[in-house]
Amino acid sequence: MPETGGSGPAEGARGTHALLADEVTSVEVSSSDVVFDGYIWDVRRETFAYGDGTLRRDFVDHPGAVAVFALDDDDRVLLIKQYRHPVRRREWEPPAGLLDVGGEPALAAVQRELAEEVDLEADEWHVLIDYLTTPGGNNEAIRIYLARGLRQAGSTFEREGEEADMEQRWVGLDELVDAVLASRVQNPSLVIGALAAQASRARGWSTLRPADAAWPERQGG
């Protein structure tokens, strides 16, 4: 009768595995053209060599974005509800914005968005998590920050368009995670940020990175 327990082949090999991480790969791009010049982002068509052949792919060429989980002393997160036309929903989401100001550092951009969208400033900033929204269809990279030591900004901003009727709500982190797991809220930055914040808090916030941590997806490395 075969023995049970102990280390099988997979278990024994586990210690030799490299650190789990995506692999950055360079390919030879023979053509890259904007086939749709959009109001906010473009659609780009590229031809590139891969394996033994040549492939052609269209994708959304996106400037990237930042979002912020503003956390108060009671572990409540400040959310906004904003209309998103493609899905015909007013979604709960963290304050966020595009990286569409030339030369503006990501940290400066997210600090500006926090002030412009909810009239807040923060004394303490960390990187919570980075992610790629839709790798098969666009190159959008989003960095989510954690902001603490919150205070009112020195001025308020006039909001227009989808921002004109935004609602604000402070939500406990555990309550937010419950809403995420029940799929009552589905904004990707909210979902990813909520789960990352809960996991980081459970580890004593040891997973947080400096606010100016390298961001290869935005820096081309």
In the chain, % helix, strand, coil (3-state, to 5) comes to 25, 40, 35
Nearest to 139 by CA among 62, 216, 215, 55: 62
Catalytic residue check, 163: yes
Distance between CA atoms of 117 and 154, rounded to whole angstroms? 13
**Which secondary structure element, helix H or strand E, spans residue 175, and what is its range?**
helix 173-181
Rg (CA), the chain: 21
Element (H, E) at 192: helix 188-202
Structure tokens at 10: 């997979």
- Pairing type for strands 42-50 and 141-152 reads unpaired
Q: What are phi and psi of 210, to 5 degrees?
A: -55, 150
What is the C-alpha separation between 220 and 109, in angstroms, rounded? 19
- Among the listed residues 46, 91, 121, 163, the single catalytic one is 163
DSSP 15: G
Catalytically active residues are 163
